[in-house]
Structure 1
Amino acid sequence: MAHRELKVMISSRSDNFEIPDGNGGLMKLRAARETLKADLEAALFLDRPLLKVWINEREHGAGGQTAWDQCLAEAKACDLFICLYDGHAGWKLKGSKLGICQAEFDAAFNNSPGKVQVVRLPKATLKAGDVAGRNFLDALNSSQWFETQPQSDWPEIRAKIHSLVHQMVLGALHEGVRQYRKSGPNLGQALNWSRMTFFDRSSAIQAAIASEIAETAGCETLEAARGLVALRTIRDTRVLFSCHGAPRSLGEAAGREAVGRPFLNDHNLSAAKSWEQSDAGPVHLVGCPKGVTELQALALLGATDVTIVPGTFGVYAADRSHMVQICLLSGCTDPGSTRNAVQRFLEWLERSGEFEQLNRRARSRRRIVETIIGEMHPST
């Protein structure tokens, strides 16, 4: 089966911004984009082209709705998206405060954040009073996507973008390999799990999650808490994770009943021998053999004012009132796919910076649990 080349979109404003060319002169952004396009399309893998680059070479003035729609369609459809940021949001439709550069970034990022990278060009500045430019910068800062920041001139920019594209292509290839590693539900270990009883499948999912979370071999079984528990240090906080397995889809009554509402048993986690007074948590991880939805997470928590974040790992949900945190891990059909879901969750915590909020909520939840224990078993 023949596959097309990977499509790369290079997004930036048109020609008003110039960069040092390394020879004492200046280079227009149009020339930089055209050079990058030629560089990337000339790069071969086993004597065959690997990349196809799309750039919008409108030079002057504002385009119309048709051009706007085409740019956004390309941003959504491309496989890899690179934004060259110079401090300006680009041309705008009449009467709008949204620049085309931000619109392209939003379209790509909301469609697939993993394919997006931002390069802050040297001397990129935001002009005073530029509302669209401020909105664009706020969007970029909130995404925490300023990872490539060349400091000098075109040769450095060119080299860093080459290196960046190399890493992006490798990342895309590795993600594809991860998908290959997931056995279908009718082969290998997935078939073995399908043959298991409800109890055994739930136990197998729990064990796979706990062993991937645990920093040591110290997984602990707590029957009173209906699952396995494992400790992991998330930056500066050691967090207790309570691991559960849904033997069937959460869309089925049998799957929901097997999981229940595990946070109602948090007070029983005090029996964990490895859970020290300074540790935080618990955070609940629920492995699900099928896909998961935000509605399922809401139903499980039984609350509406919650933080809900979908991702490649499944759905993460946090109750702001009781500080209960649950992550529904999707596609847990065998040990490999279950471990993969856990790793995707941990990677998201790190890359998004959400680990700070997770740790804060986990510390709060520990205090709440201790209070519950104290009310249930008051000292005499």
Structure 2
Amino acid sequence: MSTDKLRVMISSRCKPYQTEAGETFPLDRLRQSIKDELDAAHLLGQPLFECWINEQEPAKPATLDVWDECMKAVRQAQIVIALYNGDAGWCAEGGDGGELGICHAELSTALQTGRDRVFMLNLPLAAECGEATDRRFQEFVRQELSFNGPAATDDTNALAKLKQTVAEAVALLAREGSSQLRKSSYALGQALAWSRMSFAERKREMEKTVGQALLERFASTSPRSLGEFNAGGLRLLLQFETQVLLMTVHAIPAPMTTAAAREMVGRPFLSDHKVLQVDEAERPKTPLGKALKFHGPVHLIACHRGVTEKQATDMLGFPDATVVSTGFGVYVLDPVQRVQLILLANCRDASSSRYAVQRFFDWLKRSAQAPEFIAHAKARSRIVRAIQKEQA
């Protein structure tokens, strides 16, 4: 019985080029070596990969041009590896009318259609890559892929790095795929038990699970639960990075389209001036016995089903906000009032809830947004304390 193969696309220029050091880098030989290695790779005696490089593709229908065919290959691939040397590639209209080079377009399309399957291998920079299209490509890479490792020294070193990258990609895709298989199990086990609960019971269970996940994740920093407060949910003081953050945990125990479930949370940030009133005796202390200063609140909301960007901005109350939709759900920031909402999608049982928490903090790390996250929490606490002062 034949095995379905993983489709790997190699995105780069196809010809040798001169590096900045004045040497010739055999990019054509590297691409062919990659294809030969992957096509020959077996797992337990079965072929595992099908490698796509455009120079060996057969003729295509007249309805598709080369550009269309390359974009189609990007979308169909399970793994996309970009060999980056700063050259954006040829332009469909010859440039420069502000269009993208083919390598730029392939990488952009790959990131838009599945970032976790995209990997980039740095090669020695090309000597002649100073065109406007190349500069746009280089800036795009700096913004989108802030960490991708040192450049390979030669084609042998590049091939070794690429084999390590493919092995890592397969392991990552296997882990991600196993988490997605939970979606087919929502009619069984704990997910079924949660579905049988009333809204109030499910809400408490979701909040308890997410709260425990946060406490266990930051257990080494001695966090402390502050129990329930009037708006419903949990308050947690957590040592995140070098700061203490006040995070409130809420849960929407049914689809966001169900008004009765959505209204159990409402707009929790409207009660921030009450949430921030933590009794001195409940606050964690420094070794000298002084109460720690904390920042926030930041609102983490577990959603029993999916959540869209529009539903997130509707909860905020207006659309003019920073909205990031990614694997864990949706992150929303009001850049004026510094309200931060983290909506975790598909918290159907304990495993999926904990995984959503994990994905959020993984995103903070990968996107290098943790300092911004903390800065907004600090600003929010100053705003809320000013409201408290006026209320007093």
**What is residue 112 of structure 2 aligned with on the other side?**
110
Distance 1:33 1:274 in 2: 59
Q: Aligned to 2:54, which of 46, 53, 56?
A: 56
Contact 2:229 2:275 in 1 (8 A): no
Alpha carbons of structure 1 residues 343 and 3: separation in structure 2 relative to 1, 3 Å: farther
**What is residue 204 of structure 2 aligned with on the other side?**
203
Query: Which amino acid is the alignment partner of residue 376 of structure 2?
Result: R
TM-score, with structure 1 as normaliser:
0.91
SS at match of 1:243: strand
Alpha carbons of structure 1 residues 138 and 233: separation in structure 2 relative to 1, 3 Å: farther
Q: Where has structure 1 moved over 4 Å in runs of 4 or more? A: none
Alpha-carbon displacement from aligned partner over 1:74-113 (angstroms, at most 9, x marks no partner): 1122111111011110111125431000000011001111
Matched, 1:280 2:295: yes
**What is residue 94 of structure 1 aligned with on the other side?**
93
Query: Which amino acid is the alignment partner of residue 240 of structure 2?
Result: I
Alpha-carbon displacement from aligned partner over 1:199-224 (angstroms, at most 9, x marks no partner): 11001111111111221363221322
Offset, 1:19: 7.0
Alpha-carbon displacement from aligned partner over 1:317-357 (angstroms, at most 9, x marks no partner): 11111100001111011111111111111111110112222
Query: Which amino acid is the alignment partner of residue 118 of structure 2?
Result: V
Offset, 1:26: 4.6
SS at match of 2:54: coil
SS at match of 1:224: coil
Offset, 1:149: 2.3
SS at match of 1:89: coil
Distance 1:65 1:375 in 2: 65
The root-mean-square deviation of aligned C-alpha atoms, in Å, is: 2.3
* Correspondence 1:246-325 to 2 at 5 A: 246-272=252-278, 273-274=282-283, 278-325=293-340
Alpha carbons of structure 1 residues 39 and 336: separation in structure 2 relative to 1, 3 Å: same
Residue-pair matches, total: 368
Offset, 1:3: 5.7
Contact 2:16 2:25 in 1 (8 A): no
Runs (5+) with no aligned partner, structure 1:
none
SS at match of 1:190: helix
* Correspondence 1:30-69 to 2 at 5 A: 30-57=28-55, 66-69=65-68
SS at match of 1:177: helix
**What is residue 238 of structure 1 aligned with on the other side?**
244
Among the aligned pairs, what percent are the same residue?
36
Contact 1:148 1:160 in 2 (8 A): no
Offset, 1:231: 3.1
Alpha carbons of structure 1 residues 256 and 203: separation in structure 2 relative to 1, 3 Å: same
Distance 1:283 1:364 in 2: 11
Offset, 1:375: 1.2
Contact 1:201 1:247 in 2 (8 A): yes
Query: Which amino acid is the alignment partner of residue 262 of structure 2?
Result: R
Q: Aligned to 1:356, which of 371, 387, 390?
A: 371
**What is residue 287 of structure 2 aligned with on the other side?**
none
Query: Which amino acid is the alignment partner of residue 262 of structure 1?
Result: P
Offset, 1:56: 1.5
Contact 1:285 1:328 in 2 (8 A): yes
